[in-house]
Structure 1
Amino acid sequence: MHPRHLDTAERPFVLIWELSQACELACDHCRADAQSRRHPDELTTEEGKRLLEDAAEFGDGQLVVLSGGDPLVRDDVEELVAYGDDLGLRMTITPSGTHSLTRERIEGLADAGLKRMAVSLDGATPASHDDFRGEDGSFAETIRAVEQAREAGLPVQVNTTVCRQTIGDLPEIRDLLREIGAVLWSVFFLVPVGRGRILEPIDPDEADAVMAWLDEVSSEEPFGVKTTEAPHYRRVSIQRDRENADGGQSEREAAGNDGIQRRTGIIAGDGFAFVSHIGEVYPSGFLPESAGNVRERPVYDIYRNAPLFQSLRDRDQLEGKCGSCPYRHVCGGSRSRAYATTGNPLESDPLCPYVPEGYDGPLPWDDDELTGAPPEGVSLGD
């Protein structure tokens, strides 16, 4: 089901379950601040199956992403995938690029009914990727896993973090995705949580420039493009469509995919939910404010009825310039970044440079000019 046709008050488009925070890697951006050992209070196999049963109450075809840490540190992943598949869930996984992702496990996951596997590529070369992931050989392991997944008939998604360290590699990563046959590029704009606090984010004008470039990539490449924690990608796409339409109605609007009034944005708590390794339910893994625990309440009850989730679904409760923005129903800003930088998940997203016409309130940045130009010395073209 396309998110545009989803009632996000009733069900999330994406439900992530963090199976474990344990992982061999020490990635610079890690939200979970992953550890080498598993937590003793992780959800058990039986508790996980009850969670999947509750997730099935959202409706047929609910998308479930098994995440981590490295979810493959658990030996029950194939059992959980098969159980979810039998319940009618669309089971996917985001393993780490480590030795745990063997050909046997990939084939076992495919046989269990896995629908997609996502891997991370944060550099276009072994040197840049391995440095970012904190593990020599991670790049080679990831490419090997992609090839084996394709042999097993599993579509592969690639996740990439955008920050000062990685922005220069984006064009070459784009080329690499084409070569390896990825079906989707999920581009994550850094949120300063976990180990990600030590990384340098890009500026708002740079973010808009990257999103405009991604919009071009999406029309040129065989794989899809989506952003994570950067919902103003939709605003950039709409504005570019209008410019290309010479002031008339854009193709996206004519097709009914925008109109600004149409609600399409998927953000933390509104079309998105996250279950931690110990059962806490967050609007997002990057917004670690618990609304309840699946050991005490079903995940569907928490998602639909918890005040935190309900407030995030009411775009008219947004504050600052996000609350005044005509694009708030198709964008809504990153609630996770607002929370990480202000402590208030309803505040403005500081990564968005757009200022609504007539807005004269406070702005979440310094008095730098917001030109929308790419950073000096970085080319996002061919």
Structure 2
Amino acid sequence: MLLMNVECRNPPKTFTLLLDTGSSITWVEHADCIECINGDAPPWTGYDEAVSSTSEIIYCDKNRKCNMATNAFCKRSRRCEYSLKYISGDCKGFYFSDTLYMDADGTRADVFEGFIFGGSLQIRGELEEHTHGIFGLGNATGSFIFQEGLKRLSFCLPPSDSPQRTKLLFEDEARMIGKSLPMIKDPDGHYVVRLIGISVDDDYLDIEARIFRGAGGTGGAILDTGAPLSVLPKRAYGIVVDKLTSIINLPLSSKPKSDRLCFNITGETEINVSIIPSMMLHFERLNLPISRRYLFAKTQDGDLCLNIRQYRRMTIIGIPFLQNINIGIDLDRNRIFMQPLISCTTI
């Protein structure tokens, strides 16, 4: 996961958040959350505005901050509220503003006063596991990027089994390295690029590029550091699965999943990666190799499952395929830079 530590409140309190380029709202667990479970031993307490000298509860009446907040709405309480749905779960709560201290590289050098974020009172699904919330790095109105007027950012996603935290850089410090791709404008603040093809073991698959563009034919592939799996439209997914099953000499899972290819490896302690074929994602002006290590993952029930699922007509490049890649986003030039690395520690 793409993790970073931030501190909210005065005095500060540390939260470990999932950096999510696929959404634009930042939220943390609230102290009064009634359905919050995370990996921390008790007594964990979430954000409590009552003990912060710099907090502000955001109300609805002619409040510019509520108008600026992402997906905000108002009910009888007159509090500025939000309700979010993700593929892996949902949450809801109220908006606050407070001082944000960002620990992006092991320091507390970045301080953002009056930052608008959510305090979640209900969290369902897988959202609460291992983290205290989500740091939305999308570019929709009300996002962190929008609030701070940022134009350049970069980050490198360490492998999921690495203790290394993400180094998030802004403006002049952001690393724009590697080949650049034109960024497709997206009304939801996603970072979208044009995927034109996929090859497996150097065999360019017969998938029309328009399939990756979604229902309207004008979209593309979303770079989503909050997505645990990559996603392909049904037609493209079927062609990829047919190719992989023709190469990999393993029995299919006895517990098949309708949206994900899985092989049965019960009894195997280690997987010989040489049996996994190579994969390449082809973008305009860039061929992105996918490491054999990240193409499949071993599950708790003893299966080896593809890190791609099918979902309607959507194309998402998720966490497994973005590891050890420096990604630079230049909003002024509408370009996305991608540079595969041996390790994020080289940045």
> One fold, TM greater than 0.5?
no
Q: Comparing both structures, which one devotes a greater share of its residues to strand? A: 2
